[in-house]
Amino acid sequence: MDLDLETLLIARVLPMTLVTAIFATTAAMRHNDEANRAWTAAFAGALCVTALDAIYAADGSAPLVVVAAGDASTVFAVGAMWAGCRLLDGRERSNIWMAVAAAAAVALPTLVQTSDPDLDLSTTLRTAATGGFAWLAATELLRGPMRLNLNARILQGTFLLFGAWYVAVAALYASGAVRPGVVGVALPFTALFVVSAVCLSALRVERAGNWWSMSAEARRRSKLNVLASDAFREDAADRLERATRAGSHVALVLAEIDDLDELNSAFGREAGDNALVHFSGILRSRVPADALLGHLGAGRFVVLVVAANAETPRRVVDAIRTGLTESAVGEGMELRTGATFGTGHTIDSPATFDSLLGRADADLAKARQN
């Protein structure tokens, strides 16, 4: 059965609506961070241009403002995907403003034209800018450990192919040569976002673990052989109270595993869990036997130890670092984890758990900046 252009443009609204609704709902309920908000904005932009194309196909003509809005939405959608990939890759800023600026720049020439717009110019600018952002997104997925992740590599290949095709389309329109029709531009755009929805959802689950199952998180913590956050806080408060009565001092060491999110993204959640188990094993074997050990979550471990002087926490940190250097995460792997540390001591902090943790957290943040 042959489908005409109008039917194809209208039919592609359905898959785009489904992937946008599912992605936005799960992002709002379970993954409401900056990267997922950028991707949700990208899907919203893609849905907007898809709906405009369908309306245009049904109506047979479109006002200049509709053409400009479609061009801007197309560029913004892929630009926002690039912005989300930047955040996924550990960048501090998404630079999504660049997608907004590019979208406005692409729409402007159409808005200032007469009632008979130059659609070739519109298509050239739109496809060139969109292809450029697709290549930038693929480049982000090549950086660091992300390049080793299967879903990231699938997404990277999709963006590379899409970007190459759109840049080629822009060149064809600019040269006035034989050009692909609307379907040759619209359907790859839809396919890009369908593939992106699948791959990004898989990446989110790998980074966050089985977020639909609290029992999975409980089992993971039980494998660490250290106290969970609430239990550690309770025991630490009791130990601090007894130390204060006895006139003794205690020290707190806060340790955060470096690049745990990147490890999860590159090798899967199991590799991240192995890193946590490995780190807890280092703590159990390297710190004093009477130390209190806990896991606060998100790769943050804490050690509370009796301290005769202010050098005690530094010796604990040195012992942990030595253990991390001497052993790999798993058998047959040369992968070693690093950690950043912060310390607190009752000599220079009030003898409460919150004050010690606050001092150690500030010290850790300072170490990260350096």
Residue located via tokens 């990260």: 368
CB-CB contact of 293 with 287 (8 Å): yes
* Band of pLDDT at residue 220, cut at 50, 70 and 90: very low
Q: Give the pairing type, strands 292-297 and 227-228.
A: parallel
Average pLDDT over residues 111-115: 73
CB-CB contact of 141 with 160 (8 Å): no
How many domains does the chain contain in total? 2
Contacts of 274 (CB under 8 A, 6+ apart): 329, 330
> Are 126 and 176 in a shared domain?
yes
H or E segment to which residue 343 belongs:
strand 339-345
pLDDT in tens, 180-214: 777 778 889 989 999 998 888 877 666 554 333 33
Coil, strand, or helix at residue 330?
coil
> Are 331 and 224 in a shared domain?
yes
Q: Could you give phi then psi for residue 251, rounded to 5 degrees? A: -125, 150
> Are 256 and 350 in a shared domain?
yes
**Stronger pLDDT, 294 or 118, i.e. the higher one:** 294
Least confident of 103-117, 118-132, 275-289: 103-117
Two tokens at 251?
A: 């020290």
* Angle (deg, nearest 10), helices 269-286 and 182-208: 20
Task: Indicate the DSSP class of residue 342.
Answer: E
Domain boundary among 161, 180, 208: 208
Coil, strand, or helix at residue 222?
helix
**Is the predicted pLDDT of residue 218 greater than 50, yes or no?**
no
pLDDT of residue 78: 94
H or E segment to which residue 306 belongs:
strand 300-306
CB neighbourhood size of 243 (10 A):
17
pTM more than 0.85: no
Task: Indicate the DSSP class of residue 144.
Answer: G
Cα separations in angstroms, 151 against 48, 250, 265, 350: 26, 46, 9, 48
> Are 139 and 261 in a shared domain?
no
CATH number at residue 233: 3.30.70.270
Cα separations in angstroms, 285 against 22, 305, 326: 46, 14, 12
For the chain, how long is the longest CA-to-CA vector?
88
> Are 181 and 240 in a shared domain?
no
Domain boundary among 176, 208, 240: 208
Distance (Å, rounded) from C-alpha 258 to C-alpha 147?
18
> Are 30 and 59 in a shared domain?
yes
pLDDT in tens, 342-362: 998 887 767 788 888 889 999
- Name the residue range of residue 204's domain: 5-208
Two tokens at 114?
A: 């007469």
> Are 218 and 176 in a shared domain?
no
pLDDT of residue 158: 93
Average pLDDT over residues 207-231: 56
pLDDT of residue 148: 64
CATH number at residue 105: 1.20.1070.10
**Is the predicted pLDDT of residue 217 greater than 60, yes or no?**
no
> Are 32 and 167 in a shared domain?
yes
The sign of the dihedral angle between the CA atoms of 172, 176, 182, 183 is negative
pLDDT of residue 166: 92
The sign of the dihedral angle between the CA atoms of 257, 262, 263, 269 is positive
**Stronger pLDDT, 82 or 87, i.e. the higher one:** 82
Domain boundary among 186, 208, 230: 208
Cα separations in angstroms, 336 against 6, 70, 235, 264: 56, 48, 31, 14
**Stronger pLDDT, 16 or 2, i.e. the higher one:** 16
Residue located via tokens 């957290």: 361
* Band of pLDDT at residue 14, cut at 50, 70 and 90: confident
Which DSSP string do the residues of 248-302 spell out, in sequence order?
--EEEEEEEETTHHHHHHHH-HHHHHHHHHHHHHHHHHHS-TT-EEEEEETTEEE
Least confident of 92-101, 237-246, 296-305, 348-357: 348-357
**Is the predicted pLDDT of residue 145 greater than 60, yes or no?**
no
Two tokens at 174?
A: 């600019």
pLDDT of residue 241: 87
